[in-house]
Amino acid sequence: MQTSEDGLALRRESVWNVVTDDDRAKIEVLSMEYRKYLDAAKTEREAVELTERMAIANGFVRLEELERLAQEDPGIELKGRRGYIKNKEKNILLFIIGSRPLRDGFRMIGSHVDSPRLDLKPNPIVEKEKLTILKTHYYGGIKKYHFANVPLALHGVLFRRDGSMLKISIGEDGDDPVFTVNDLLVHLAQKEQYERKMPEVIKGEELNILFSSIPEKGPSAKDKVKHMALRILHERYGIEEEDFVSSEIEAVPAGKSRNVGIDSSMIGAYGQDDRICAFSSIEAIMSLGVPEYTSLAFLADKEETHSEGNTAMQSNFFPWAISRLLALQGEHSNLSVMDALMRSKALSSDVGAALNPTFPKVHEENNAPRIGNGIYIQKYSGTRGKYEASDANAEFISEVRKIFNDNGIVWQTGEMGKVDEGGGGTIAKYMARLGMEVLDAGPALISMHSCFEISSKADLWMTVRAYRAFYEAT
Ligand code: MN
Ligand code: MN
């Protein structure tokens, strides 16, 4: 963080005040790369697939490949080797082996690639009033009305009866149709809907996606519009209704990211929580040479639903991956796994709640991050008296603060909103549980969890630099 001229007082500083013209050009290049990542990765599966492609292009190989090389030549030099381990297409770990043994601990940046959205129900297609709709179950924390009256795209996978997979992405190309949830028109909303409380303005069972309107011709039968929709699905994709049972299809806001503001200093897009951090950690790890400590970038799934399931931070995948990395270096004991975890240091890489000038009252001003003021470190999360919080140790914050200050990183601190105003959590506590030192650190967003979240290009740039400095610190 910046200080006053006599060094005594903390001062907020806009990153824009400290960047050179040369830096501005770099910020723009990085922002364009980031926007490409956002536009191509609208779901956790797409983010993992794209990350894998970027990793391969940057010299990362599957762990199995390194294991094979080490088996063929036990004396092989592993330092500096780049690799990755993928977990069920929704979670990926990138690593660069350091010059020290892994048992001495690692440096990790952990983010998540799932975002709030509408998931199709297992049996989604319903004909109602001679139209078909898709029934959905929302995923993660959304204000449900945000998803009404906006163009939606369908992304995901579906497995047919014979087990073959269909990858779905409909609504992103200009020629594609889009889908939408229909709110009630204002003219007829004045009585019942106007009386509803905000979370119920659109209720969960009202998040229905308009899907089709043409009926099948011929003798009268039931559900003719639905049959026509099924016929189109069969002709176009070779699928039948039962196939939806074995699918994961997500409705997300359609369209690409945009520059925001007359100065184009910000980026607006769906899914920046938390792909801005995933992208930043990938950028940072890819820029490393041979680090002293093994460097890890972990992209988790299911953070938005409390990290449950076998692709989430809480699953056994992570300690299993560490065990295999240790085995690659000839370490097979359970104690070495525990040693590695207990001696490690991590940043939980997630977004903060930036002060929104229209709603400043939910924040305590002295402890609220602002966009454009650099990477945001958050000592603790949680709600109502720090319940379920990961509360970083002062010793570790001291280390991270020194790394940031020594490397000219513009950073800020605070917490999520006023005490008892609300709150939220990250994957930090699940890393902390394993014994690592963990601190939440990432850029702050305005309108987090909306269909159009706002980030600052300057914060993106500062975050990549901060993560790199963290990896390189000894
Ligand atoms: Mn998040
Ligand atoms: Mn979130």
- For ligand 2, the distance from its centroid to the CA atom of residue 226, given in whole angstroms, is 35
Q: Which residues sit with Cβ closer than 5 angstroms to ligand 1, an ion?
A: 273-274, 350
- Give the ranges where 343-409 is alpha helix by DSSP (H): 394-406
- Contact between 252 and 445 under an 8 Å Cβ cutoff? The reply is no
The two three-digit tokens of residue 242, written as one number: 């039962």
Residues 467 and 328 in one domain: yes
**Which of 253, 286, 316 is a domain's end point?**
253
Specify whether 371 is located in the same domain as 424.
yes
Q: Are 287 and 215 in contact (CB under 8 A)?
A: no
350 and 370 co-located in one domain = yes
Query: In a 3-state reduction of DSSP, which class is residue 167?
Result: strand
Query: Where a domain ends, among 224, 253, 282?
Result: 253
The answer to whether residue 264 is domain-embedded is no
With cut-offs at 50, 70 and 90, classify the pLDDT of residue 446.
very high
- What's the 190 CA to ligand 2 centre distance in angstroms? 33
Q: Which CATH number belongs to the domain containing residue 96 in this structure?
A: 3.40.630.10
> How remote is the CA of residue 176 from the centroid of ligand 2, in Å?
29
Select from 218, 253, 288 the last residue of a domain.
253
* Ligand 2 geometric centre to CA of 449 (Å): 6
CB 301 within 8 A of CB 90: yes
Residues 40 and 95 in one domain: yes
Within a domain: residue 366?
A: yes
DSSP β-bridge partners for residue 269: 453
Query: 307 C-alpha to center of ligand 1: Å?
Result: 11
> Are 330 and 434 within one domain?
yes
pLDDT, one tens digit per residue, over 254-304 is: 999 999 999 999 999 999 999 999 999 999 999 999 999 999 999 999 999
**pLDDT the model gives residue 95:** 98
- Ligand lying nearest the CA atom of residue 299: 1
Whether 52 and 39 share a structural domain: yes
**153 and 57 within one domain:** no
Ligand closest in space to the Cα of 275? 1
pLDDT on residue 388: 87
The Cα 347–Cα 324 span in angstroms is: 22
The rounded Å distance from CA 140 to ligand 2 centre is 8
> Which ligand lies nearest the alpha carbon of 352?
1
Domain count, the chain: 2
pLDDT of residue 222: 86
Q: For residue 449, what are the domain limits?
A: 2-115+270-472
Q: DSSP letters of 59-118?
A: T-EEHHHHHHHHHH-TT---TT-EEEEEETTTEEEEEE--SS-GGG-EEEEEEE----EE
Residue 316: inside a domain: yes
- The alpha carbon of 274 and the centre of ligand 1 are apart by a number of angstroms equal to 5
CB atoms within 10 A of CB 308: 12
Taking the centre of ligand 2 as the mean of its atom positions, its distance from the CA of residue 461, in whole angstroms, is: 21
In the reported structure, the alpha carbon of residue 109 is separated from the centroid of ligand 2 by a whole-number distance in angstroms of 17
Cβ 154 vs Cβ 121: under 8 Å? no
Distance 268 CA to ligand 2 centre (A): 16
Q: Each residue of 54-108: pLDDT tens digit?
A: 999 999 999 999 999 999 998 999 999 999 999 999 999 999 999 999 999 999 9
| Average pLDDT over every residue of 323-330 | 97
Mean pLDDT calculated for residue range 381-395: 91
> Minimum-distance ligand to the CA of 140?
2
* 3-state SS assignment for residue 148: strand
Helix (H) or strand (E) holding 52: helix 44-57
- Domain assignment present for 258: no
| Terminal C-alpha separation, the chain | 21
- DSSP 8-state assignment for residue 246: G
Residues 28, 129 within the same domain? no
CA of 236 to the centre of ligand 1 (A): 36
From the CA of 112, the nearest ligand is 1
- Portion of the chain with pLDDT greater than 70, in percent: 100
d(CA 280, CA 271): 14
Domain contains 261: no
> Is the distance from CB of 314 to CB of 307 less than 8 angstroms?
yes
Is there a domain that residue 259 lies in?
no
**Domain annotation covers residue 263:** no
Higher pLDDT, 432 or 423: 432
pLDDT digits (tens, 9 = 90+) for 398-417: 999 999 999 999 999 989 99
Ligand 1 mean position, distance from CA 426 (Å)? 6
DSSP 8-state symbol, 469? H
Residues 221 and 316 reside in one and the same domain: no
Ligand closest to Cα of 449 equals 2
Both 46 and 182 in a single domain? no
Residue 44 has pLDDT above 90, yes or no: yes
- The reply to whether 105 and 167 lie within a common domain is no
**Domain holding 143: CATH number?**
2.30.250.10
Residues 287 and 428 in one domain: yes
pLDDT at residue number 381 = 87
pLDDT value of position 423: 84
- Rounded to the nearest angstrom, the distance between the alpha carbon of 275 and the centre of ligand 2 is 10
pLDDT of 384 over the 90 cut: no
Helix 272-286 and helix 457-472: axis angle, to 10°?
50
Distance 431 CA to ligand 2 centre (A): 17
Q: How much distance in Å is there from the Cα of 450 to the middle of ligand 2?
A: 10
Q: Which phi and psi (to 5°) does residue 428 adopt?
A: -55, -45
- Whole-number Å distance, alpha carbon 406 to ligand 2 midpoint, is 30
Element (H, E) at 222: none
Q: How far is the CA of 186 from the centre of ligand 2 (A)?
A: 30
